[in-house]
Structure 1
Amino acid sequence: MGGFLRGTLYCALWYGSIVAGFLFIACPLLPLLLFSPPRFRKCGELLFSCWELYSTALLDVFGVKIYVSGDHISPHESAVLVMNHRTRVDWNFLWAAMYQACMPNVACHKLKFVLKDPIRHIPGPGWIMQMNGFLYITRRWEEDQGRLSRTLDYLITLDSRSQLLIFPEGTDLTKSSKERSDKYAVQQSLQRYDYTLHPKTTGFTYLVQHLQHASYLDAVYDLTIGYPDYIPQSELDLIKGKFPGEVHFHIKRISSADIPMHDSTLRRWLENRWSDKEGILKQFYERKAFSAEIWPTPKMLPLRAAFGFWSILTGLAALLLIVSPIFQLWTLIHAVFFIGLSIFSTGFSQIEMGWYWRWKSFTFRAKRS
C-alpha cells in the first residue's frame, strides 16, 4: 500500500502540475498568438522548459537518481536526438537528463519529441505538447511527411534552434516487439539484438536531410538509456510506486559535418549506430554503468524553486476547480476548445503554423502601406 500511495502521489503531482500550467499560464497566453506568433512560441517554450524543472525535481524527491556521462548538449544548436526506447516511460527520465546534459544547465533548451499521434489527444499533457510544437506522426508516411515538413519549415523560419528527439525503434522494448525485431533480422540477414530493436530509418532520415538541405543542422546526438536495477515498463509501474533507483544516460555528439547526406548512406549510418548501441548496452548491464566519469550533481536551487512554485500552483488549481464556478467555466471552455481541435484538426500546432503565414502576410502589407 505504501508503494501505491507513493506512486499515486507522484503521478498526481506530475499530472496536476501540467493541468495547472495549462490553465494558469498556457491558456492566458493564447491571445498573444493573434498578435505575435514568434513571441507566443518563445513564451510557450520557456513555460515548458520551466515545467521540466519540476519533473526533474519530482524524481529527486521520490528517490530516483539520474546519472549522465559523455558529451554535453548545446541548447543553442539545431539538432536531432536519437535514443533507444527501453520502456514506455523513458521520456519521463529524459527531461531530468537534459537538465544535466545542457550547458549551461538551466531551462533554456527547446526539446521536442516525435510522438505517436494518439498522444496528442490526452487531456492536459497532449494539449500542452501540441502548444509546444511537438511533432506527431500517424505511421502513414504520405501524411507524416507533410506534417514533418510543415513543422520543420516553421521552426527554420522562426530561427528556433530546437532539439528534436526521435525514437528510431518506433516502440519500446517488450517481448512482442523483440519478436518482431528478431523476425526482421532473420529476413534481412542481420544480427539479433537483445537490448535494442532494429531501428526504422525513414523518419530519422527525413528529419536529418530536411535540416541539412536548409543548412540548419548543427549536430546529431546519440543518447543511450539504461536501467541498472529496476526497469519500469509502463506508467502503471509508476502509479504502483515501482520507481527505478537509478537511470543512466550516455550521450555522444556527432557534428553535422560527419553526418552522411545521401539517403542510403544515412540509413546505414543509423543502423551502424544501433549496432554500436547494442554493444554499449551489453557492457552497461554487465558493469551497471556507462562510464566511470559521471557528471557532477546539477544545481539544486532551480529545482527547489521549481518544486515550490509548481506544487503551490497545482494545489491552487485543485482548490479552484472545487470551489470556484468561474474557474470551472474557464476550464470547461478551454477543454472543449482543445477536444474540438483534437477531433476536427491535426492539432493546435498546425493551426498556429497556418495563422503564422497569414499574420506574416498581414504584417508585411502593413509595413509597405
Structure 2
Amino acid sequence: MMRGFLCGTLYCALWYGSIVAGFLFIACPLLPLLLLSPPRFRKCGDLLFSCWELYPTALLEMIGVRVIISGDHISPNESAIMVMNHRTRVDWNFLWAAMYQACMPSIAAHKLKFILKDPIRHIPGPGWIMQMNGFLYITRRWEEDKGRLSRTLDYLVALKRRTQLLIFPEGTDLTASNIRKSNSYAEKNGLPRHEYTLHPKTTGFCYLTRHFQHAGYLDAVYDLTIGYPDYIPQSEIDLITGKMPKEVHFNVHRIASADVPEDENELKCWLEKRWQYKEEMLKRFSETKSFCGKDNAWPMPDGISLKIALVFWTILTGTMVLMLLTSPLFQIWTLAHAILFIMLSIFSTGFNQLEIGWYWRWKSIFTR
C-alpha cells in the first residue's frame, strides 16, 4: 500500500512539475513570437503540447498501467471532432497514452484540443498551458459559449491547422446520481434507459460539427470509448494515492465526414444512436473485460520516443525545482508570468481568446 502511495505521489508530482517546467522554460519564452506571427506561435504551441503528452504516457508505462487500443487508426493530419464517454473525472489522464498509440507511426503530430469547463482554465500551471495551447472553455451559458466556440473555430479554419477537438457530450462523469438524472431525462423523452453511459447533450456537438461542415473543414468524427476492466479511479485523489488501474481500454471508431448528417435534427439523432451503440459495447465490455479480444488489440509500439521524453522532461522538471530554489532571476521570471496569467484569468476570458483577437488585428495589418 505504501509503495502504491509513493508511486502515485511521484507520478503526480512529476506530471504537474513537467507542466509547470514546460510553461516556464518553453511556453513563456514563445510569447514574443505571438506578437510577430500568431500562425507560427500556434504551430510551436501545438508541437510543444504534443511533445509533452509523451511524458505522461511514459510515466504510466513506468508505474505499470497498460493502455490498450483497438479499432481504427487516428490520422493526426485530419480535422476532426472526437466524442468520448466520460466514465470518471480522470479519463483525460489516460487519453494521452491512447492518442500516442492510436496516431502511430506518427509521433507528436496530432493537435488535440479539449473542450472543458471554464473553471479549469484558472488552475495554476495546467490551466495556463492549456489556455496557451488553444483549449476551448465553456461556461454552460450557451449564448456566451456559442460566441467563444465560433471565434475559436473560425480561427482554426483561418490558420488551416488540421485540428482534433475532443468533447465529452455527456457533460459530466458517470455516477449513480448522474445516471438517475440521465434516465429521468430519457423517460421524459422516450429514450431507453442507460446503465453504462449518460445520454449525450447534443447542442455543443452539433454546433462544432456543423460549423466545420459548413466551412468544408470536417474530415471525420472519431468515436472513442473508454473502459476500465479492473479498478476504476474516481478522482485525482486516487491518482495521488496510487490507486491506478492495471489496464485502461480504448476503442476508436472513425466515421468519415460523408457519413455524418448535416441537418441539425438528424445529427442529434445520429449522436443519440452512437451512444446507444456505445451503451451496448460497454455492457459487453463489463462481461468480457475487453472491446476486441487480446488477439485484435493493437501491439504496443516501440518506446524509444517515450524513453527520450521521460529523460528530457524529468531533467527539465528537476532543473526548474533547482532554479526556483537558487536563482533570484528565475524566481522573478516565474512570479512575473504567474501574475500575468492570474490577471488574464481574472480580467479576461482567457489567453486563447486574446490570441484570437490579436490574430485578426495582426492579419489586417501585415497581410494587406
Q: Which category describes the TM-score, using the shorter chain as reference length? A: over 0.9
**Residue deviations 1:292-348 (CA, integer Å, cap 9, x gap):** 200011120000000000000000101111111111100000000000000000000
Q: Which residue of 1 aligns with 2:298?
A: 295
Q: Which residue of 2 aligns with 1:48?
A: 49
- Root-mean-square deviation (CA), in Å? 0.7
**Residue deviations 1:219-272 (CA, integer Å, cap 9, x gap):** 000000000000001101001100000000001000000000001000000000
2:97 pairs with 1:126: no
Equivalent residue letter for 1:57 = A
Among the aligned pairs, what percent are the same residue? 72
How far apart in 2 are the matches of 1:17 and 1:290? 33
How far apart in 1 are the matches of 2:168 and 2:235? 16
Q: Which residue of 2 aligns with 1:255?
A: 256
1:144-163 mapped onto 2 (5 Å cutoff) = 144-163=145-164
Tell whether the 8 Å contact from 1:41 to 1:132 is kept in structure 2 after alignment: yes
Q: Which residue of 2 aligns with 1:235?
A: 236
Match of 1:362 among 356, 360, 365: 365
Tell whether the 8 Å contact from 1:75 to 1:103 is kept in structure 2 after alignment: no
1:3 Cα deviation (Å)?
2.1
Q: What secondary structure is seen at the aligned counterpart in 2 of 1:133?
A: coil
Aligned residues: 365
How far apart in 2 are the matches of 1:320 and 1:178? 48
1:69-218 mapped onto 2 (5 Å cutoff) = 69-218=70-219
How far apart in 2 are the matches of 1:53 and 1:111? 13
1:162 Cα deviation (Å)?
0.5
1:285 Cα deviation (Å)?
1.2
**Residue deviations 1:90-125 (CA, integer Å, cap 9, x gap):** 011011000110143311000000000000000000
**Residue deviations 1:169-191 (CA, integer Å, cap 9, x gap):** 00000122112112111211221
Poorly superposed stretches of 4+, deviation over 4 Å: none
Match of 1:332 among 324, 332, 335: 335
Q: Structure 1 length normalisation: TM-score?
A: 0.98
Equivalent residue letter for 1:40 = F
Q: Which residue of 1 aligns with 2:221?
A: 220
Does 1-10 or 256-265 show the bigger shift?
A: 1-10
Q: What secondary structure is seen at the aligned counterpart in 2 of 1:81?
A: strand
Q: Structure 2 length normalisation: TM-score?
A: 0.98
Where does the alignment leave 5 or more consecutive residues of structure 1 unmatched?
A: none
Equivalent residue letter for 1:82 = V
Q: What secondary structure is seen at the aligned counterpart in 1 of 2:298?
A: coil
Q: What secondary structure is seen at the aligned counterpart in 2 of 1:173?
A: coil
Equivalent residue letter for 2:289 = K
**Residue deviations 1:39-70 (CA, integer Å, cap 9, x gap):** 00000000000000001001000110000000
How far apart in 2 are the matches of 1:294 and 1:2? 30
Q: Which residue of 2 aligns with 1:9?
A: 10
Equivalent residue letter for 1:32 = L
2:281 pairs with 1:275: no
Q: What secondary structure is seen at the aligned counterpart in 2 of 1:195?
A: coil
Equivalent residue letter for 2:320 = A
How far apart in 2 are the matches of 1:103 and 1:7? 28
How far apart in 1 are the matches of 2:315 and 2:37? 30
Q: What secondary structure is seen at the aligned counterpart in 1 of 2:53?
A: helix
Equivalent residue letter for 1:346 = T
Tell whether the 8 Å contact from 2:76 to 2:106 is kept in structure 1 after alignment: no
How far apart in 1 are the matches of 2:146 and 2:46? 24
